[in-house]
Amino acid sequence: MSSGWLTTALIFLPVAGAIVVWVLPLKPFATASTAVLFALAEVALWIDALARYDFSKPGPQLAQQTSWFSDLNVSYHVGLYGFSVWFVGLTTVVLAAAIAYAFWAGRERADAYYGLMLLLTGAIVGVFVAQDLLLFYVFWEAMLIPLYFLVGVWGGPGRLRATIVFVIYTMAGSLLMLASIIALGFSQGSFDMVGTGTNGSDWIFLGFMAAFVVKAPLFPFHAWLPEAYRESSPEVAAVLSGVVSKVAAYGFLRIAIAKFPGPTLDFRVAILVLAGCGLIYGSMLAFRAPDVRGVIAYSSLAQMGLITFGLFAINDLGLNGSVLQIVNHGLLSATLFLLAGGIERRAATGELGRLGGMARGRPALATVLMVTGVIALAVPGSSAFAGEFAILAGVFQYGWGWAVVGAIAIVLAAMYMLRLISAVLHRSPGPAISDAALDLRPAELGILVPLLACLLVLSAWPAAITERAFALRKPIDIQSIIAGHIPTTLCANGLSAAERRALIGLGVKLVESPSCSSQSLTTGNLESQSNLRSVLP
C-alpha cells in the first residue's frame, strides 16, 4: 500500500527524536522542548494515519513489508488493524502528555531522560503495529530497556527493588514467549502474523500467555505492580499503567485469541476466573490502599481484569467494549497518575490520611480530579460506563455469573473512587496541606485538560471507537469454523439465513424452538469465530 511509510514513520519518528536529543548538545530546557515537539509531531502523524485509515475494510492497512532473514521467513512487516489504530493513538497521546509533564516537573539528566521516553514511545508503537512475530518480540523487549532505566534511575527511594522485581518478572514471562514464538514460527514455516492461519497447540499458547498475564498484570501475577507504580515518577507510572499494560491486552486480542482460537476456548474459563479474581481483589485492595497511588495501582489491576473479561467473552459486545475500555482506562489512569503527581508535589506525600480539604480554594484541581474520578468509577453516561456495559453485557452472554461478578465490581469501584476523591478534596485540610499549596497551574491544566477532553468526547460518543475497531462482519466462512468447537446441534434462533446455510452445509443440525437454552452460547461461539475472521486477514 502506498502510505505504508506512515506506519514506519510512527515507529521511527520518536526513535529519531531520541537520537536527536541524545546527540545534540542542548540545554535541558531546549532538550525538553525538542522532546515535546517530537511527541506532538507523533500525535499529528497518528491523526494523519487515522484520517487515511478505512475502517470498513478488514486486514492490515498502511502496511509495509521487507524481507529481513529470508531463510527463516522473517520480515520487517508492519501494518495497522482497526483496533490497533486506537492502541497507537492511546500511546501517542499518553506519551505526549507524560513527556510534557516531565518537562513541567523538570527531570535531571534531561538528554538521557527524554531520549528514553521517546525511545519508549517508538517501541510501544512498534509492538502495536508489528505483523511479524520476531519483530513483535524485538519491540516487546525494546520496551523494557527504557523502562528499566526510567524506573531505576529517576524513581523514588525504593526504586531499585521495584525495578529489579519488575524487570525480572517481565523477563521471565517474555522468555517463555520467545520460546513460543520460535516454536510457532518453525511450525508455520514463517514468522509472519498475517495470513498464516491458526495454531492449536496449548503449550505454545501458554508461552504467549505467560508474557501477557505478567505484563497486564492479571491476578496473581501482579507482585511487581504496586511497587513499580509507587516508586516510579508519576509520568512513568502513567505510561506503565496507561499504555504498557495495554500491550498485554493487545497481545490477548491479536495473538492469543486470533492465532489460537482452539486453546483460547480450552483455557477460557481459567482465564476468566483469573480476571474475575483480579477484578474483585484489585477493587478490594484499592478500597484499603493507604495512599493515592496505591488506589490507582490496584484499580488498574481491577480494570485489566475487566478488560480481560471482555476480550475472553469473545463476542461482539465483549470485544468492542474491551477496545473502548482499553482506551478509556489508558487515558484515565494516565490522568489520575499525573494528578497524583501534582498532589504529591503540593503535599510532599500521597498518604490519604494526611491529605484532605484540597477543594477549598482550588477549583481547577477539584474539578479535574472530580471529573476524572467519576468517569473512572464508570458513572452511567461516561465512556468508562459504555465500555463496562458492553463488556459485561458481552460476558453475560457467555455466562450470567461473570456479569454478576462485574456488577459487584461496579459497586466496589464507586466505593474506592469516592474514598479517594473525598480523602483528597473534602473535609478539613489534612496536616500535609498548607494554605500555600497552589491550585493546578496553567501548564498542568494544559496537560490534563486535553486528556480529560478526550474522555469527555468519548463519553458523548463511545461509538467513535466501537464502530471503528473491527471491520464489518462478513457472513460466516465455513473454512474458518474450527471443527470441534461447534456443537452438532444448534438453535436456529437469531441466526441469519446465510449463517444457517453455512452451518447446514457443515453438517450441523439446526433446531427451531421458541425456548432454546443453547442459543446464546452457540451464537456467541459463532460470533467469536466470525470476529476472528475480522482479526485475521
**C-alpha cell of 31?**
532538550
Asked if residue 309 lies in contact with residue 392, where contact means CB atoms within 8 angstroms, the answer is yes
Instruction: Give yes or no for residue 166 binding other proteins (CB under 8 A).
Output: no
Asked if residue 342 lies in contact with residue 312, where contact means CB atoms within 8 angstroms, the answer is no
Instruction: Give yes or no for residue 394 binding other proteins (CB under 8 A).
Output: yes
Considering only residues 217 to 256 of the shown chain, the ones binding other proteins according to CB under 8 A are: 220, 222-223
- Binding part of the chain for other proteins, among 17-25, 176-184, 421-429, 481-489 by CB under 8 A, reads 421-429
Nearest approach in angstroms of CB 254 to other proteins is 18
**C-alpha cell of 483?**
471443527
Applying CB under 8 A, which of residues 117, 314, 386, 433 lies at the interface with other proteins? 386
Q: Which residues contact 186 (CB under 8 A, 6 or more apart)?
A: none
- For residue 373, the tally of other CB atoms under 10 A from its CB is 21
In angstroms, the CA 508 to CA 505 distance is 7
Whole-number CA gyration radius for the chain: 23
Nearest approach in angstroms of CB 385 to other proteins is 7
Instruction: Give yes or no for residue 379 binding other proteins (CB under 8 A).
Output: yes
Whose Cβ is closer to other proteins: residue 162's or residue 336's? 162
- Binding part of the chain for other proteins, among 47-55, 107-115, 312-320, 327-335 by CB under 8 A, reads 312-320
Question: Helix, strand or coil for residue 73?
Answer: coil
Instruction: Give yes or no for residue 354 binding other proteins (CB under 8 A).
Output: no
Nearest approach in angstroms of CB 142 to other proteins is 25
Number of H helices, E strands in the chain: 21, 4
Q: What's the start-to-end Cα distance of the chain, in Å?
A: 15
Nearest approach in angstroms of CB 11 to other proteins is 30
Instruction: Give yes or no for residue 527 binding other proteins (CB under 8 A).
Output: yes
- Binding part of the chain for other proteins, among 87-95, 360-368, 475-483, 497-505 by CB under 8 A, reads 360-368
Considering only residues 459 to 478 of the shown chain, the ones binding other proteins according to CB under 8 A are: 460-463, 466-467, 470, 473
Beta strands in 356-456 (DSSP E): none
**C-alpha cell of 351?**
498518604
Instruction: Give yes or no for residue 521 binding other proteins (CB under 8 A).
Output: no
Residue 113-152 contact track with other proteins, rule CB under 8 A, x = bound? ----------------------------------------
- Binding part of the chain for other proteins, among 19-27, 82-90, 112-120, 355-363 by CB under 8 A, reads 355-363
Q: Which residues contact 523 (CB under 8 A, 6 or more apart)?
A: 491, 494, 495
Q: Which residues contact 411 (CB under 8 A, 6 or more apart)?
A: none
Whose Cβ is closer to other proteins: residue 429's or residue 537's? 429
- Binding part of the chain for other proteins, among 26-34, 174-182, 202-210, 412-420 by CB under 8 A, reads 412-420
Q: Which string of DSSP letters, residue by residue, matches 201-269?
A: -HHHHHHHHHHHHHHTTPTTS-TTHHHHHHHS-HHHHHHIIIIIHHHHHHHIIIIIIHH-HHHHHHHHH
Instruction: Give yes or no for residue 357 binding other proteins (CB under 8 A).
Output: yes
Q: How far is residue 2 CA from its own chain's centroid?
A: 29
**Phi, psi dihedral angles at 387 (to 5 degrees):** -65, -50
Nearest approach in angstroms of CB 400 to other proteins is 7
Peptide bond into 217 cis (omega under 30): yes
Using CB under 8 A, list all residues that contact other proteins.
Answer: 165, 220, 222-223, 281, 284-285, 287-288, 315-317, 319-321, 357, 359-360, 363, 367, 370, 374, 379-381, 385-386, 389-390, 392-394, 396-397, 400, 403-404, 407-408, 410-412, 414-415, 418-419, 422, 425-428, 460-463, 466-467, 470, 473, 494, 515, 520, 527, 531
